[in-house]
Structure formats: C-alpha cells, structure tokens
Structure 1
Amino acid sequence: MKKLNIMIVSALLLVGCNNFEDDININPNRPSVASGTQLIANAMLSLPGLSSSPQGEFMSQYLSETQYVNASLYPQSSTSFYGWYQGPLMNLQTVLNSADELSGNEGPVPNQLAVAKILKSYYIWSLTDRWGDIPYTEALMGSDNFTPAYDTQEFIYTDLFNVLDEASSQIVTGNITNDIIYGGDMNKWFKLANTLKMLMALRLSEVNPTLGKEKFAAAMQAGVLESNDDNLVFKHLADANNQNYWFGQLNQGREWWAISTTLMDKIKPVGDPRLMVYGNPNRTDGDYTGLVFGETVNIDTEKYSLLGDAITAQDAPVYLVTYAQVLFAEAEAAKLGWIAGGDATAEENYTMAIEASMDQWGADISTLDEFMSQPEIAYNSDTALEQIATQRWVHLFMHGYEGWAEYRRTGYPNNMSAPDGAEVPNRQMYIETEQFNNTENYNEAIQRQFGGAESLYGKVWWDVD
C-alpha cells in the first residue's frame, strides 16, 4: 500500500509538471534571445573593422609594410564581404524585422529602429564604396535567399538617402539603452544621420553634382555634427576583451608597419603637429622618417617612424565620422558653389577643419596660426580644392578606406606611388566563392560594371575620372 501511494504521488507530480507554464524553466538572468538594443550594441562592436585594417591603410598609402611585403604591392586578389553580412548587418536586420516584438523598456521602439537604420546605412555605404555593386535588397533574407542579386551602386545610394531620411524623421523623445557609441543620446544619432547624407552627397560631385548639391543642402539644413563631441567614435578599453587592433599586433612584436613617405612628404616639411601623434621618431637618429610605399628590400625598422604611441595604445579610439570631415565638406561645397559664401566661406571652414582635426588628434593646437601661415597650407583660391582634399586625407589617417575613397573621388593627394609599376586600385575584388555559389548574379554584376573583367581597376559608379 505504501508503495502504491508513492506511485500515485509521483504520477500526480508528473502531471503537474506538464501543466506548468513553459517559461518557468527560463532563467530571466540568462535570456536565450537577444533584445533589440543588445543586437544593435553587438553590431556596433564591428565598427572598428571599417577603419582598423592594414589593407585600408595600404589603399590610402598611410602606412608601408616593413616585413612580408605583399599586400601593399596591390596583388590581384579577392576580398570577402561575407563577414559584414553575417555579423553586424544581420544583427541590425533582425532588429528591423522584429519591430513589433521590440521592448519599449530599452527606450522608444522608433528610436531603436532609427539607430538600426543609421548603422545599417553606414555599413552598406562603406561596403559599396569598396566593392561597387553589392547584394542589398535581396540580402539578409536568411534561408529565403542564398543567392541574392547585386544592386547597382546608384540604386543603393538613392535608397540609403531615403533610409536615412526615414531614420531621422522617426526619432522621438527618449534615449535608448546599451548604446556604446552615444550613450543613447538620440540628438547625436540624428546629427550623424544627416552627416552621413552630407558626405554621401559629396561623393556624387563628379557623377551627379545636381543631386549631390540637393542632398548636401538638405542635410546641412537639417543639422549635422557640430563639434568633436558629436563624432562617431569607437572607444576601446584598456582590456584584452575590447582592445585596439594595433595594440594587439604590436603586443605580439609585430612592427610590420611604418609611416609611408606618401604621408610623411605631406606633413613633415610643413611642420604638421599631427606628425608627432601619427608616428614616433625613428630609433636611429630620432628623426621622423617615412618608408617608401611598396619598398621590398633592405628595410630596417630602426630607421623609420613606426606608428605613434597614441595610435597603438590599448584603449586608443577609432575615429569614423568626424566634425572635421563636416567642415572640410562644407569648405569644398562652398568652393564648388553648392552652398553660399564662395572663397570666404571655403577658407573659414578649411581653417576650422584643420583646427578641429588637431584638437581631435590631441596635437599642439597652439601652433595652428603658424601652421596655417605657411604657403603650402594657407588658403589659396587657385588651389583650394587640392588643399581641402589633401588636408582631409591627412586628417583621415588610420581611416584608410575613407581616405582611399576620397582619393579616388578627388585625385588628391597627388603623390601616391605605384609600387612595381602597379596603380592604386579603384575597388576591391569580390570574393572568389561568389563565382561558384552565386554565379548568375556575380556574372551579371561584373558584366554590368566592368564589361565582364573582374579586377582591382574597374571603377565604381561615382568614380568617373
């Protein structure tokens, strides 16, 4: 009898367990599904990759290789964009696809969606400027489409303008949580969205100046970055779990990069105070010495200026979209006649841009007046576009892909070298597996853009010179 009672009780307990709510076994402190702002924050962790890349620095010729010289010789090799789709872009698309499921406990849902749209637009803009046409409207669909079509860069630009407008217009009062970039400050995200539009508009200066002028003016009127406090900056930590890429490399004894002569020849002769931030004196005679870009023999790292301590610090920040870029853009726009003011406004913004750049980099700003008085630097209406473009390139140090994009658009700086007879690439080549896994769409994109010839030297849509 006692045995029977035990069996009955056990049976009742089993029945009772089956009737419990499903979530009783879920630990609220260990969620199995990431929230909207957690996904956004995870996508933000990939932002340094848009800047912290040796390949990007070679494309813009900020750095020269000191050992294993290969990548700076511009070999005809492919580069993958898969990681961007599988990582940050998929996280952001998941947020956008889950609008009805987002929790308002982490900030207004419209603001979460706005930030996801702004970040997605920034990533896509960076990718299309590197490769040209890329998967866009059919991308990020998961198992619904493993072979997405490539959208034209022109279409992508047009759509991104619209997406950024949508993002700006849907921002409401209230901050969001888990924001490791702006601490949830939606006013800064609003200004960033407009700034991205401004910089994208300027990219159209040769291919469609009418549209560029229209979009530039609209972005400027809406409100762009107003100081270095508004900069899009990724702040590393003095912690191995979130440290600067360059620190990690040098911490392994890899002195593989030196300041290039391409950069050194633009900043050393004019006594640019940013030089002491960008690089260290060489260890032979304490001078600042650049290494010829693409040099392959007799390289002694003791003789050249390696990356500066401020650049390689474990917690060194990564500057992505900056106030100085806004001012350089406004200087160029004034010179082009896109905004009012002509040379007077162009000169004012040009000077302010250099000041903002020095301030951002922690250079000795007390030398600004002396620096600006030099003939090569002082604003000259006859050479203004070259001066603006060159100083913007100097400012964009270590944001190689952006510096390279501006070089392709403007042709400045004018001292890019061509190692072993090679030319500076116009784009990156698609990953080879696309030829086999997405053959039809890959071939269509190559034929449409480059007449069927895949190489580093086909030009993206806006690169018309």
Structure 2
Amino acid sequence: MKTKSIIAVFIACCLGTVSCNKFGDINTDPTRSSDLDPALQLTNVQLRYSGDLETNEKIHLCLTMPLVQQVGGIWANRWGQMYIYNRLYLSSLWDYSFRNGVADMVSAVERTKDNPQQSNLNAICRIMKVYEFARLTDLYGDIPYTEGGKAYIGGITHPKFDRQEDIYANFFVELKAAAEQLDPAKDQVRGDLFYNGNVNAWKKFANSLRLRYAMRLVKVNPEKARQEATAAYEAGVFTSNADICLLNHEDIQNTYADMRGNGLSAAFTQSEVLPRVNNTFIEQLRSTNDPRMQHLFRYYIDIINRPFDRIDITDPVRAQIGYNGVKPTDYVWDEWLNPIQIQLSNGTTMEAVNNDQKVQLANFMIRNNAPFLHMTYAEVSFLLAEAAVRWNVNLGGNAATHFANGVRASMKHLSLYPSGPTIEDQQINTFIQGNSLIPGREIELINKQMWITLLMNGTEAFANWRRSGFPILTPSITGESTTNKIPRRLEYPINETEQNRANVAPAIVALGAGGDTWVNRVWWDKQ
C-alpha cells in the first residue's frame, strides 16, 4: 500500500497556543515548504507517530504485537502471529518514516540550529529526531542516519548507511547535549503535543530515552550500557507517573487522512472481527493473580461496524470457562467451541457462540481517544531494577524497590485511559508481596512485567523482548509459516536494495549469514 503523504498543520499552533497533550482542527498541506514553521513540523511528527493509521496498523497490529504474543487470532494478525512473510508490510515503516517523520525532524533541526530564538525548539527537535531514528534502526538494523531524510530536503538520492553501533553512539551524544541545551529562561516552544513546551519535562524524557537505549546494549556492550545507564540516571530520569510522555488522542474515528484519533485503536476497531488476546499473555497474568486481568480482558458479543456498542458478557462467560483467548498458533475460528447458555444481569438468557468465548482487550484500551504511552515511569523503574541486578549498582534504590515502583506505576497507568479503572493500592500491595523478585530469576521477572507494561506499544515490546530474552516464547509455527523461527527484525524495502544497492550492501553483510532476512538479528541483538 502506498503511503498517503499528508502533513497535519494545526490552527492552534498557527495562533501560538496549544493545550497540553491536546490538539485542535487539522488543515492539510500536501507539500513540504522549505520555510515551514519548525514548530508545526514538531506537531506533525508527534501526531503522526501514534495517529497514523497505516504504520500503526502494519507495525503494531499486524506484526509486533502478535510477534510478542500479546494479541492474535484474526487475519490481520497472521503476518506476525504465524510468521507469514509479507515484504510490503515489512517495508511500510521505512517508506513512511523517512519521507515524513525523519524528513521533518532533520529539516527542523537543521533550520533551528543557529537561531538563538529557537534554542529550546531545536533541542526538542533533536530529541524527537533521535526518537524517530531509534524506532527505525531498532527494527531494521543499519540505516541511513547522517544522510537519512535528506533525499526529501537535501537532494541526496542515494544516502549512505550508518552502522547501528555508530548510530547508537550518536544517540547518546545527542540526547545528552539536547537535555543540557534546554533552558526554561529561553524560548517557549509552541506546538508541542507531548509536554506543552515544558523544557524540564523534556529533559527527563531525553534522559529516560537515554536509559532505554543504554539498556539495549546489555548483550553487545554491557560496559557501555552500564556507563550510559548510570549517566542517564544521574542526569535525571522520570521519577513518577506525572513525568510520563504520552499523547492524548481525540475521540474521533481515525482514517488514513485524519490522525487526531489513536491510529492503533482505529486499526483494532476497523475489522469486523476484533483481535483476541493471546493465551500466552493471559497465562502470565493468571499465574500471578494480577489484578489488571479482570479489567484488561473482557468477553463481548461483537456488533459489526459498531465496536463500542458490543455487549459485555464477561461475568457469565467467565463463570463457566474462566479466561480463554487464542493459542499462538490459532485463528479465532480454530478449536471451535460449542455454544453455551448465559444469563445477563437483566435476566435475559442468550447463547454465547465460539467467537464470544475468546476474550478481547477491554473497550477502554482501544477507544479512539485512548492515549499512546511513549515512555513511562514504570519502564524507567524496570530498567533501573535490571541495571541494579546486572551491575550491582544503586541508582536511587535496589532492584526490589525499583521493581515494586514499576509494578505500582504500571498498574496505575490504566487510569490514564478514559473510563479506565483505578487499581486499588491494597490490590497492588498484595500483588507485589506475592510476586517479589526471586534470586536468579530477577531479570526474567522484571521483563515479564515490562511485557505487560508495553501492551499497546508493540514496537517497544518487540525491542525489549529481543534485548532481554524474556518472556521466553515458543515459536507459533503452522502450515502457513514461512519460517520456523520467531522473526527478529524487518527487511529492507525492495526499492532500497535495488536503487541504493551500493550503500545497502555493507548493511546486509553486517547481518551475517543469510543476509537481509527477518530472522537475522540487528547489531545490539547479536547473541
């Protein structure tokens, strides 16, 4: 599917006002002007990241969320759930990001770098530039970085590829410099949908990203990982849920043209049959008596094209069969279940058929106005807990303290969703007491909780699974699978391998035997 090239330009930004994490009416401009306001480019990139339907559908719903066995069961999940090769889907993020988010941020950084009146804007755009490139390199490996995006703004038609090791080294330099550059006494940044121009919040976000990327290196360069993780903590990372970087979307049905709604939510709800929860994921919560389970997983009778009018039948179905999703190898119509008779709270008796007996994500998780959580205090806490285990370092607490902080913060995330539940403190305390870290299994237990925390952020869940090795997933191989291994990266687009052959060739060699395949590993994922 060809990407529709649309730039969102906001009236609120043009007026110099934007409420925190909210946005107003959209105008569209099909061209990228050389004198486009960098603040508008920032707005556009922030919204596209989670509002664009095409990439969120293909990368999260079709590939990464099924790959890490969070959801599955429908036709759209098959590519990631059952490892069915689709080169077009593997190429989607590359094609879309380089011409949009990357090009905008490269342009905005370049045009603000020498303007003292845009010092904070420049720093924020530098952070966003790293954030955009990180998603690409984590999924593909070596990519055009120093010349990335310049095909659209600088006339470079065959950009060179940079090694992922070098790209990461520059990430740390950029995030450190950008955080130090931010100054509350300097320019007020408008058009910022994440933090409404709060530079102190951006400092914490930059340092927290630095921690995230530092921990990517635990397999390939543990000493560099330790150094950067320590430096990130000392510079000031998230310390509570008040620091979370998120975007609150509008309650508007997202389309390929209108990105105000949550793009992943639109991907979920546009299907006649909605994704089911994977039994692997259900079992993690069931085996630990996780209080989130009753809120996250619900049984519904679907109403075609009216996803939020579907009938909640959780209580009577759960009373008969407990929580039942789909196996990693199954579609929702596999292992067909016979109808059961249930009685609703109003006394009505009805029949729940096969599809009704496969549990789904609750409505509040996939509404159009569901927030997209870019980075959370819970993630920071789990990363600090893992650092404490790996290197016996005290970065504001020991592993047990950070783990407990992460669990508590993660459970409280649900209240950030409109109509989301509030998990009571006593429930959280009981869970923590019953699921403390076990010597020798700390990293496993920490990253299983990270897996839950990163639900609805498939690309990050996929990255953390590859980085940490947890949870241990059994490959979901079927007769349709085109590989017997769980894929670990995305393949380069055909137009890149054909039209930029000389530059992509070293990147393919660096992947090792087999070359540009989706079962090969990026640099930081090497065993």
Would the TM-score normalized by the shorter structure come out above 0.5? yes
1:233·1:321 contact (CA, 8 Å) conserved in 2? yes
Residue 187 (str. 1) matches residue 249 (str. 2): no
SS of 2:273's equivalent?
coil
Which residue is equivalent to 2:485?
A: 423
Structure 2 counterpart of 1:267: 285
1:378–1:199 Cα change, 3 Å: same
3-state DSSP class of the match of 1:320? Answer: strand
Output the CA distance in 2 between the equivalents of 1:277 and 1:464.
37
**Cα distance, 1:44 vs. partner?**
0.7
Is residue 371 from structure 1 mapped to residue 431 from structure 2 by the alignment?
A: yes
2:314 pairs with 1:303: no
Secondary structure (helix, strand or coil) at the match of 1:387 reads helix
Say yes or no: does 1:87 pair with 2:100. yes
Residue type of the alignment partner of 1:349: H
Deviation at 1:445, TM superposition (A): 1.3
How far apart in 1 are the matches of 2:517 and 2:393? 37
1:322-378, CA deviations, whole angstroms, 9 ceiling, x for partnerless residues?
Answer: 100110011111111252289x7100110110000001123513311221232xx22
State how 1:135-146 maps to structure 2 within 5 Å.
135-142=144-151, 144-146=155-157
Partner of 1:59: 67
Q: Check whether the contact 1:153–1:461 (CA below 8 A) recurs between aligned residues.
A: yes
Indicate the SS of the match to 2:523.
coil
Give the drift of 1:411.
1.4
Q: Note the C-alpha offset of 1:457.
A: 1.2
Give the aligned residue type for 1:334. A
Judge conservation of contact 1:213–1:338 (CA < 8 Å) in 2: no
| 1:412 alignment partner in structure 2 | 470
Match of 2:7 in 1: none
Instruction: Report the CA distance shift for 1:56/1:452 in structure 2 as closer, same or farther (over 3 A).
Output: closer
Residue 428 of structure 1 aligns to a residue in which SS? coil
Closer/same/farther in 2, CA of residues 178 and 209 from structure 1, 3 Å limit: same
Asked if the contact 1:77/1:429 (under 8 Å) is kept, the reply is no
Instruction: Please list, as runs of the form range in 1=range in 2, the aligned pairs for 1:371-450 lying within 5 A after superposition.
Output: 371-374=431-434, 377-420=435-478, 422-450=484-512
% identical equivalent positions: 25
Task: State which of 241, 247, 269 in structure 2 corresponds to 1:228.
Answer: 241
Aligned equivalent of 2:40, options 22, 38, 62: 38
Q: 1:161 to 1:250 in 2, by over 3 A?
A: closer
Which secondary structure state, in structure 2, belongs to the residue aligned with residue 45 of structure 1? helix
Return the alpha-carbon distance in structure 2 between the equivalents of residues 51 and 220 of structure 1. 31
1:356 aligns with 2:418: no
CA contact (8 A) 2:56 2:263 kept: no
Q: Distance in 1 between matches of 2:269 and 2:394?
A: 50
For residues 307 and 370 of structure 1, the distance between their equivalents in structure 2, rounded to whole angstroms, comes to 24
The CA distance in 1 between the partners of 2:356 and 2:330, in whole Å, is 15
Range with greater deviation from structure 2 (243-252 or 272-281):
243-252
Are the counterparts in 2 of residues 236 and 316 from structure 1 also a CA contact under 8 Å? yes
Question: What amino acid sits opposite 2:84 in the alignment?
Answer: P
Whether 1:463 and 2:525 are equivalent positions in the alignment is yes
2:419 aligned residue? none
CA distance 1:100–1:73, change in 2 (3 Å): closer
TM-score normalised to structure 2 length = 0.77
TM-score, with structure 1 as normaliser: 0.87
Larger radius of gyration: 1
Q: Deviations over 1:109-152 (max 9, x none)?
A: 11000010000101111111111111111222235311112111
**Alignment match, 1:257:** 275
CA spacing shift, 1:418–1:88, aligned 2, 3 Å:
same
Q: Hey, what does 2:347 align to over in structure 1?
A: none
**Partner in structure 2 of residue 325 of structure 1:** 379
Q: Distance in 1 between matches of 2:454 and 2:66?
A: 13
What do you get for the CA RMSD once the two structures are aligned?
A: 2.4
Whether 1:453 aligns to 2:515 is yes
Q: Is the 8 A contact 1:277 1:310 kept in 2?
A: no
Distance 1:425 1:282 in 2: 32
2:212 to 199, 217, 233: 199
Change (3 A) 1:96 1:338: farther
CA contact (8 A) 1:280 1:307 kept: yes
Is it true that 1:77 corresponds to 2:86 in the alignment? yes
CA distance 1:126–1:338, change in 2 (3 Å): farther
One-letter amino acid matched to 2:458: G
Q: Give the deviation of 1:251 after TM superposition.
A: 4.7
User: In the TM superposition, what is the alpha-carbon distance from 1:320 to its structure 2 partner?
Assistant: 1.4
Shift of residue 293 of structure 1?
1.5
CA distance in 1, matches of 2:223, 2:44: 38
Query: Is the 8 Å Cα contact of residues 95 and 116 (structure 1) preserved in structure 2?
Result: yes
Q: Which position in structure 2 is the counterpart of 1:334?
A: 388
Rounded Cα–Cα distance in structure 2 between residues aligned with 1:324 and 1:234: 17
- After superposition, give the CA deviation of every residue in 1:203-254 in whole Å (9 maximum; x if it has no partner): 1111111111111111100101121121111211112441123443455453
Letter paired with 2:485 = E
Task: Output the amino acid matched with 1:165.
Answer: K
1:131-170 equivalences under 5 Å are 131-142=140-151, 144-170=155-181
Specify whether residues 316 and 237 from structure 1 end up closer, same or farther in structure 2 by C-alpha distance, changes over 3 A only: same
Give the secondary structure class of the aligned counterpart of 2:276. strand
Counterparts of 2:211 and 2:279 in 1: how far apart (Å)?
A: 31
After superposing the two structures, state which structure 1 stretch, 254-263 or 444-453, moved more: 444-453
Aligned in 2, Cα 1:249/1:332: closer, same or farther, shift over 3 Å?
closer
Residues 338/45 of structure 1: CA separation in 2 closer, same or farther (3 Å cut): farther
Pick closer, same or farther for the CA change 1:305–1:171 going to 2, 3 Å: same
Name the CA shift for 1:218/1:247 in 2 (closer, same or farther; >3 Å). closer
- In the alignment, residue 235 of structure 1 is paired with which amino acid? N
Query: Aligned pair 1:210/2:223, yes or no?
Result: yes
* Offset at residue 444 of structure 1 (A): 2.3
Bigger shift: residues 289-298 or 48-57: 48-57
Which range moves more in the overlay, 355-364 or 252-261?
A: 252-261
CA contact (8 A) 1:277 1:311 kept: no
Instruction: Give the match's secondary structure for 1:405.
Output: helix
Question: What is the CA–CA distance in structure 2 between the aligned matches of 1:308 and 1:224, rounded to whole Å?
Answer: 31
Are 1:76 and 1:455, in contact at CA under 8 Å, matched by a contact in 2? no
String of CA shifts for 1:289-339, please: whole Å, max 9, x gaps: 221123145364212111211111121001111100110011111111252
SS state of the match for residue 207, structure 1? coil
Mapped to 2, the partners of 1:341 and 1:324 lie a distance apart of: 15
Q: Work out the CA distance in 2 between the residues paired with 1:100 and 1:234.
A: 26
| Aligned-partner Cα distance in 1 for 2:77–2:214 | 36
Which sits farther off after the overlay, 159-168 or 276-285? 276-285
Q: Which residue of 1 aligns with 2:306?
A: none
- Map of 2:308 onto structure 1: none
